[in-house]
Structure 1
Amino acid sequence: MSVYKEMLLLKRDFGGLVILFVMPLVLIVTITLIQDSTFKSVTESSIPILLVDNDKGAISKTVKENLEESGSFEIVTKIDGDVVNETVAKEAVFKGKYQLAIIIPENLSSDLQLKVNQNVLKIVNNLGMEETSIVVEDKKVGTKEVKLYFDPATQLTFKNAVKSAIDKMISQIETKSIYAAFQDQLGEGNEPIFEQESFIVFKEIMPKVNDKEILPNSVQHNVPAWALFAIFFIVVPLSINIVKEKGQGTQIRLITNPVPYAVIIAGKTATYLVICMIQFFLMVAVGVYLFPYLGLPVLDVQGKLLLMSIVALFSGLAAIGFGILLGTIAKTQEQSAPFGATSVVILAAVGGVWVPVFAMPKIMQHISQISPMNWGLNAFYDVLLRNGSLLEILPEINLLLLFFIGTITLAIGYDKKKRAV
């Protein structure tokens, strides 16, 4: 009967019930589309960048070719038919029309070649080898600057990635120039005497299932994250209903019945747990069936749905326990509703739903460990991304269960103390 009562309360607030189910679905679709589009814009689409070539030599040609071959950039050298200079490029970037401008200085290729030849010639002479017929100009070559102008709104990660890529590119060009200079000084004939291929290379090893690599995508991150957010948002209607019962005198009538208060709480827990699981399965259904039609990756839950459901179940218990504690302590709806919504947002932010925990400051990384959303999210990631078993997600499940038991115990204790007074 306690469950039936809770169902009646929810049925009478049909608008709130619709929001409870529809809002998370709209949220997960919107956020995933935005993040996936952002991801594609960086990795798949070409970003137009300005290139001012004051060198007109081999290095600027190589830089341009490498940038074009990367597929990440579209080289722009003219605006409205006019060749771009440094002043125009700087103004265009700082106004946000372009994200990046690369300024290659004058005589970069010739000066680099001269500097390399001078250094190589010194080494050859110090080794006591005879000087060759190659004449090297005795001219002091200063440091050359390849200037990078970034849009002020550009993210730091993008800046660092571009600077690292260009620095690597220039270093490779310098290395090849040094090898070529030694070739000219020491070698005879056209065949290279130095092997110029990279000796050290990097290879990313991805986890595999059935000899197939698992590639994480935006859907695998967003579905569990926003499913947790939806589950914990149950705190708001749950706490409001408890406050309503206290205000309307319903709780007093329930307490006077020969039924333990734990049974009343059990009725609320069972009812809202069903709602949490419906929310979770709706989120999963969106990831599996709707996302492919929107051009997003499909959520692969094959062989993982049972463990994901277990994580969602215990996450729901943690959210319900928090909602019951908040409803028990709050005296008015004006207290429970804003505090409930705000606390869920804070738990989501701290727990890694919005920003990955590893990207947070050290102190926030430690604080995130006490967020139940962080426990649930880690358990979901263990299942979806790390192919974890039930044994591996037990620590997070135990934490969620202890959180539920702790909040319910506090709620019952607070209610007894208040009624005793």
Structure 2
Amino acid sequence: MIALLASLKKESLLLMRDWHALALLFLMPALFIIIMSLALQDRFGAEQGMELAGQFNDQASTRDARLFRQQLELSPYLSLQDSTRPLSTSGELYAITLTADFSQALEARTDKPGVMLRFAPELGGRERALIRAAVQETAGQLRATAIAEELGYDKQYAEQEFLLTHLIVDATDTHSDQPALPSAVQQNVPAWLIFAMFFIAIPLSTAIIDERQQRTFIRLRTLGTSVGLIYSAKILPYFVINLLQLVLMLMLGIFLMPLLGGEALHLPAPQIPALLIMAVCTSLTALAAASLIASAARTTEQAAIASAAGNLLLAALGGVMVPVFMMPASLQSVAELSPMHWALSGFIELLVRQGSWSDIAAPAFKLLGLAALLFTAAWALIQRSTRHA
């Protein structure tokens, strides 16, 4: 125990002296969380609205055209302006132009188009589809109302008999506090926390290799210090750092993000123990990966490249950079192979759906299983190198 405490003190002092690297471990995920949460807060999340600015040009100047615009402006997603400026993501994103044949086209008395749509080249397919759907819905409502009036009925009859508004009922539990999808903060806080936990492989693996190259490892062995104690003393301080990262990133989401104009992260008290378990499982897997890299690499350059490349690949596939639910089906299947996705799915289950222990059992056990496998492989390589030292 005395030897372990002495080793832990040595490693802690080395860590504190390298304060640049220590600061990076906390500043990097914090900056990513702030930037990505603010940048994507209007892209997804149940409570985040989307209002797309666009142009409306009326070449018809008819009653139907005026009714069309009035109905279209009721859409919560569209913001229409009278403008002819070039379309761009920094201004109007789309242009809706009613042609001179609009009324005839609405009444199906001509084959010519009644509405022309133009989009900014950078506008995504999701937004384009939303705008088309709003225009199509508005045209359908006006046409159904006109037919009902010709038959002697009112707008309510048109909505019930022609538009079948009673056919679809929103079955979402409006009294539930659980959104269907994570908000930007709920996605990015655990995502970049996990990335930071795995990023710790770079300083840990390079520190181990540096001691090996400087023959510090051999000197400790000649003093009777066991291999297990040496590596345990290396790993434990980084394990504590991972847990501190958890606390600080959660505090950032809860207190700082609202001050910066983002959504606050809500952390239900019953989920805190389960969040801690997910953090422990994630940290052990990250430390196991770092140990394997340190035992397999021969130089600090090899370890740094392997750690950085591996982390970026796992993050890209695991839903850290792009949420998995936004990926095509083929990539979603590949994402299941990333341990970062296992960890992120567990955090999302707790933060978004307020899941129970049983809901995180699968990702937690997968992380622990992988950690055990990686630690075993690292230990085998360490024992082999020790025998040949």
Superposition pairs of residues 27-46 of structure 1, within 5 angstroms: 27-36=32-41, 44=49, 46=51
1:370 to 337, 342, 345: 337
> Is 1:404 the equivalent of 2:371?
yes
Query: Which residue type is aligned with residue 213 of structure 1?
Result: D
2:185 to 216, 219, 237: 219
Give the match for residue 241 of structure 1: 207
Distance 1:256 1:367, change over 3 A: farther
Give the match for residue 268 of structure 1: 234
> Is 1:67 the equivalent of 2:67?
no
Conserved? CA contact 1:101–1:149, under 8 Å: yes
Moved more, 223-232 or 94-103: 94-103
Q: CA deviation at 1:110?
A: 3.8
> Is 1:255 the equivalent of 2:221?
yes
Conserved? CA contact 1:322–1:404, under 8 Å: yes
Query: Which residue type is aligned with residue 214 of structure 1?
Result: Q
Conserved? CA contact 1:51–1:102, under 8 Å: yes
Superposition pairs of residues 119-268 of structure 1, within 5 angstroms: 141-183=110-152, 194=157, 196-197=159-160, 198-206=165-173, 211-215=175-179, 216-268=182-234
Q: Which runs of 5+ in 2 are unaligned?
A: 1-5
Conserved? CA contact 2:144–2:158, under 8 Å: no
Q: Counterparts of 2:26 and 2:195 in 1: how far apart (Å)?
A: 12
Q: CA deviation at 1:155?
A: 0.9
Larger radius of gyration: 1
Query: Which residue type is aligned with residue 97 of structure 2?
Result: I
Give the match for residue 356 of structure 2: 389
The 3-state SS of whatever aligns with 2:97 is: strand
Distance 1:149 1:298, change over 3 A: same
The 3-state SS of whatever aligns with 1:93 is: coil
Runs of 4+ residues over 6 Å off in structure 1: 190-193
TM-score by length of 2: 0.88
The 3-state SS of whatever aligns with 2:73 is: helix
Distance 1:191 1:383, change over 3 A: closer
Q: Which runs of 5+ in 1 are unaligned?
A: 80-88, 116-140, 184-189
Q: CA deviation at 1:70?
A: 2.3
1:335 to 288, 302, 307: 302
Query: Which residue type is aligned with residue 212 of structure 2?
Result: K
Conserved? CA contact 2:41–2:184, under 8 Å: yes
Root-mean-square deviation (CA), in Å? 2.6
Q: CA deviation at 1:316?
A: 0.6
The 3-state SS of whatever aligns with 2:56 is: strand
Question: Quick one: percent identity of the two aligned structures?
Answer: 29
Q: CA deviation at 1:114?
A: 6.5
> Is 1:104 the equivalent of 2:98?
yes
Q: How many residues align?
A: 375
1:77 to 68, 76, 82: 82
> Is 1:353 the equivalent of 2:320?
yes
Q: CA deviation at 1:391?
A: 1.9
